[in-house]
Structure 1
Amino acid sequence: MINVDQHMTYMRAPNDAYDYSVRLTWKGLEIELVKIQTLLTTINLSGNNFTGKIPKSVGKLKGLKQLNMSHNHLTGNIEPSIGNLTNLESLDLSSNNLTGRIPIQLATLTSLAVFSISHNQLEGPIPTGPQFNTFDNSSYEGNTRLCGFPLQKACNSGERQQVMTPSGQEDSNSDENGFGWKSVFTGYAFGAVFGLAMGYLVFRTRKPTWLVKLIEGEGHPRLKRSINNTCSSYQRRRRRRN
């Protein structure tokens, strides 16, 4: 599955098939294969007593189409490198002791048709993406601290569902501090409208009341001198024109 040599033969397999039969769970269905096609790339480790964490090296199995590690005693987080398995069609990690959040990298798996992480101890928002939007509640049941679509439990204000764009980058309207481009554009638009409105009033009234109060009332001496000089220059130019 890693840089497979197409000219090599495996298990004396003529005509692109192994002369061995096997019973396995394929995309949620238990089937028996009388002959195994060489193109069938699957790892089924379900129903054992494996412990420990999912190894990072699993992300190097680029040709893998099915990964079933269900019904074991695996702990730790779901390995984000699984998101590198672009040919993966089925992923079953159900009935383990996995914790943490669902990696956003899994939302990039556009070939993923079967997905189950049920009966673990996962938490946080469920990522959204082209394939994740097709999975139903059964993919997540037994994880009481998960939230977001398709579950009935909504995420609170401190959590948000992560969206993976087609380019594979996480789409975020705001950063961790809540500051984003929407706020920038909103402030810019408001400032532009306010500035135009004030400019129009100054142009129409020539000498608005608030400006008179600022000049004749209390204010910073330098600011008043600057405004007085500006107004005097403006009046002199108008007299010359008239």
Structure 2
Amino acid sequence: MIAGTLELFHFTALLNLTTFNLKGNALNGSIPAALGNLTGQIHESLFTNLVKLEYLNLTNNRLQGPLSPNITNLSKLKDLRLTDNFFSGKILDSVSLIPNLQLLELYKNSFIGEIPPSIGLLTNLRTLDLRMNKFNSSIPRELGLCNKLIYLGLSGNSLSGPLPPSLSNLGNLSDLRLSENSLTGEILTSFITSWRKLNTIIIGDNEFSGKLPSEIGLLTNLEYLYLYNNSFSGSIPPEIGNLQNLKMLDLSINNFSGSLPERYFKNFRAMIEKKQREEKYDDDNGYYLSFVDMIVTLKGQDQLLNMLLDTFTTIDLSSNRFSGRIPHSIGNLKILKYLNLSHNSLAGHIPSTLGNLSDLESLDLSTNKLDGEIPSELTRLTFLAKLNLSMNNLVGHIPQSNQFSTFDNDSYIGNLGLCGFPLTRKCNDENGPTVPANDVKFTSKTLIVLE
């Protein structure tokens, strides 16, 4: 790793240089004048001496200043990576005049202003990553002209307004990340029918509304669907059951309603069976999938995931208006690791089939209307590290074997009919419930036993 500044030496022999990679150092101050100066603006000599440059990577340094308009001199540039620095100012139209540019990564800087409409001139662009900056205004409709785009990352800015209909032209899109903005409107059917190659949708923390189109079932390549913290409403379309490759489903903090029919979960094959997958190898990070803008509620706490194992599986339907019973078919998802159905209006018993979730590490069913006893089958969940059954109408003896001996009082508070360790309420019979489950009525302070 290089720290500090690059000392001056002659770069005249590098006139034919095509690749320049200084990723992952601690560069600050200036790069020699023969290349340029990144303390204020990029020195003009960088663009006059290295005009054959095709690959420029200055990722993960401490470089600063605006982009120079002279960047257009790098007419052969295909790959520009300035991620994780302190660059600022606006993206000038000059960036859009680099005709061969295929990858533009400006993630995690301090760029401001609107995304220039001239971005539509980059018709060879395959990756556009502008996440974690200070862009505002709306998404330009001209972005729809970049129909070779595979990756579009605009998360963590201050973008507003609806998605322009022209984005339906992005038929090659595989990865869409728009989270943590103020985007509004509905997800148009034309988007879903055009984005048939999508693998990843992360659009949480916005102001999207309306129903989820039934055409979502057409996205059979989809593995990651993150719609958390919006204003979506209505029931989940049954067609979501067509997403056999789905590994992460987060619809939390919305206004979804209705029941959770059995068929929704029967076809999530990627959560049911372990199988050999084609490894997704990244030369920097190994066998991981990068999700640097994904916030996931794990074991009761929001966590920002920087790296995600390809085997990670989760379902989060919390903080909606779902009602009815928990489907028994969820018990088929044998490699599910995190399940959160909290803060809904789900009723009935906890299905004993949840004991089949042998890989489960976190289970949150809190703040619902569940009743009956805690199934003894849940003690088979030997990987369970977090359990929250609080604020329901559960009754009877708390199971004591395996992981259940490790959970504290917080896992059960608000269930006036539960008894046994770790609660102070003793059971009349150590091997069974104090009273039958169907003979209990609750008031705010007392437990009344009916004869």
TM more than 0.5: yes
The alpha-carbon deviation at position 21 of structure 1 amounts to: 3.0
Per the alignment, residue 160 of structure 1 pairs with 431
Residues 2 and 152 (structure 1), Cα distance of their counterparts in 2 relative to 1, 3 Å cut: same
SS in 2 for 1:50: strand
- What is the aligned counterpart of 1:31 among 292, 300, 303? 303
1:78 aligns with 2:353: no
Contact 1:24 1:32 in 2 (8 A): yes
Contact 1:22 1:36 in 2 (8 A): no
Unaligned runs of 5+ in 1: 163-242
Per the alignment, residue 367 of structure 2 pairs with 95
SS in 2 for 1:154: coil
SS in 2 for 1:36: strand
Per the alignment, residue 119 of structure 1 pairs with 391
Instruction: Write out per-residue CA displacement over residues 153-178 of structure 1, whole angstroms, 9 at most, x where no aligned residue.
Output: 11124x6349xxxxxxxxxxxxxxxx
1:151 aligns with 2:396: no
Contact 1:59 1:84 in 2 (8 A): yes
Residues 2 and 20 (structure 1), Cα distance of their counterparts in 2 relative to 1, 3 Å cut: farther
Q: Structure 1 vs Structure 2: percent identity of aligned residues?
A: 48
SS in 2 for 1:122: strand
1:49 aligns with 2:331: no
Instruction: Write out per-residue CA displacement over residues 165-213 of structure 1, whole angstroms, 9 at most, x where no aligned residue.
Output: xxxxxxxxxxxxxxxxxxxxxxxxxxxxxxxxxxxxxxxxxxxxxxxxx
Residues 19 and 109 (structure 1), Cα distance of their counterparts in 2 relative to 1, 3 Å cut: closer
Tell me the distance in 2 between the aligned counterparts of 1:50 and 1:8.
Answer: 36
Contact 2:290 2:306 in 1 (8 A): no
Contact 2:372 2:394 in 1 (8 A): yes
Return the TM-score normalized by structure 2: 0.33
- What is the aligned counterpart of 1:7 among 261, 277, 283? 277
The alpha-carbon deviation at position 34 of structure 1 amounts to: 3.6
Residues 109 and 121 (structure 1), Cα distance of their counterparts in 2 relative to 1, 3 Å cut: same
SS in 1 for 2:415: coil
Contact 2:288 2:307 in 1 (8 A): no
Residues 40 and 7 (structure 1), Cα distance of their counterparts in 2 relative to 1, 3 Å cut: closer
Contact 2:370 2:393 in 1 (8 A): yes
Tell me the distance in 2 between the aligned counterparts of 1:68 and 1:147.
Answer: 24
SS in 1 for 2:321: coil
Per the alignment, residue 400 of structure 2 pairs with 128
Instruction: Write out per-residue CA displacement over residues 28-56 of structure 1, whole angstroms, 9 at most, x where no aligned residue.
Output: 22112244331211111111111111111
Answer 1 or 2: higher relative contact order, Cα 8 Å, separation at least 6: 1
Which residue identity is paired with 2:431?
R
Pairing of 1:141-220 with structure 2 (within 5 A): 141-157=413-429, 160-161=431-432
Contact 1:62 1:86 in 2 (8 A): yes
Tell me the distance in 2 between the aligned counterparts of 1:28 and 1:90.
Answer: 8
Return the TM-score normalized by structure 1: 0.61
Contact 2:345 2:369 in 1 (8 A): yes
SS in 1 for 2:331: helix
Tell me the distance in 2 between the aligned counterparts of 1:51 and 1:24.
Answer: 23
The alpha-carbon deviation at position 73 of structure 1 amounts to: 0.9
Tell me the distance in 2 between the aligned counterparts of 1:97 and 1:77.
Answer: 9
Give the structure with higher Rg (CA). 1
The alpha-carbon deviation at position 19 of structure 1 amounts to: 4.9
Instruction: Write out per-residue CA displacement over residues 12-31 of structure 1, whole angstroms, 9 at most, x where no aligned residue.
Output: 88643155632121012211
Unaligned runs of 5+ in 2: 1-270, 434-451
Please give the root-mean-square deviation of Cα atoms over the aligned residues, in Å.
2.1
| Bigger fraction of residues in strand | 2
Tell me the distance in 2 between the aligned counterparts of 1:85 and 1:147.
Answer: 25
Tell me the distance in 2 between the aligned counterparts of 1:5 and 1:21.
Answer: 27
